[in-house]
Structure 1
Amino acid sequence: MTVQLCVVLWGRPGAAGALAAYEDKVLALLGGHGGRLVQRARADGTDGRPDEIQLIEFASQAGYDGYLADARRTALAAERDAAIARTDLYPVELVK
C-alpha cells in the first residue's frame, strides 16, 4: 500500500538555511527506501507561515518505516533539532 504524506516545516528563528540544508540531506535518503519527493516548496516563514512544504510518497509502509529508522537520518537528530521548530505531517491522497 502506497504511503503519501504532506510534510509542513517551520524553522527556528534565523535557521531557514539550516532547515533547507538538513532537508537536502534527509530527502536524499528517500530513494533507498522506495520513497520519492513529489514536490518541495519554500515559503517565507513569516506571520506563522511554514518555511517548507513537501509532498512525499513511499511505495509501502515498510519503506516509510525503514526511512524513519535509517541510521543516517537518525544520526542527524541534533542538526534537525537546531534547525526545525515544528513539523506537521499529514497522510494525504495525491491527485494527479
Structure 2
Amino acid sequence: MGLLLIAVVDMADGQAEAGQQYEDAVLALLGRHDGVIERRFRQGDGAAEVHVIRFAGREGYDAFMVDPERLALREKLGPAAPSTRVLEVYEV
C-alpha cells in the first residue's frame, strides 16, 4: 500500500515562478526514492500547489527528505523557497 502524502505548497511572496521551478526539480527526484507524484494541482495565480505523492514506504520518504540534491536546490533558492505542509493520509 505504501505511504500516501498530500503536500500543500505555498510559494514565497512574489516568487511563484521560482517556486514552481524548484518544485519541478525536486519532484523529478521522487523516482530515486520509490516515490511518484500521482496528482499535482496549481492555484490559479500560481501562489500555491497541492501534490498527491505516494512512496513505496516510509524509508523512501525519509531518504527523499535528506536527498543531497534536493537540499542543495532548496539552499540555493534561499528565502524564495516555498513552504510546505505535508499530511500523511489514507483513502476512506
Q: Normalising by structure 2, report the TM-score.
A: 0.87
What is the CA-CA distance between 1:80 and the residue it aligns to? 5.7
Q: How does 1:40-59 map to 2 (within 5 A)?
A: 40-44=40-44, 51-59=48-56
| Contact preservation (8 Å) 2:40, 2:51 | yes
Match of 1:73 in 2: 70
| Contact preservation (8 Å) 1:16, 1:83 | no
Match of 2:21 in 1: 21
For structure 1, list consecutive stretches of 5 or more residues without a partner in the other structure: none
Query: Does 1:31 pair with 2:28?
Result: no
Following TM superposition, where does structure 1 have runs of at least 4 consecutive aligned residues deviating by more than 2 angstroms? none
Match of 2:60 in 1: 63
Write the distance in 1 (CA, Å) between the matches of 2:81 and 2:56: 28
Determine which of 61, 71, 81 is the counterpart of 1:83. Answer: 81
Aligned residue pairs, count: 91
For structure 2, list consecutive stretches of 5 or more residues without a partner in the other structure: none
What is the CA-CA distance between 1:7 and the residue it aligns to? 0.2
Write the distance in 2 (CA, Å) between the matches of 1:51 and 1:38: 17
Write the distance in 2 (CA, Å) between the matches of 1:45 and 1:11: 11
* Same amino acid, percent of matched pairs: 38
Match of 1:11 in 2: 11
SS at match of 1:76: helix
Q: Normalising by structure 1, report the TM-score.
A: 0.84
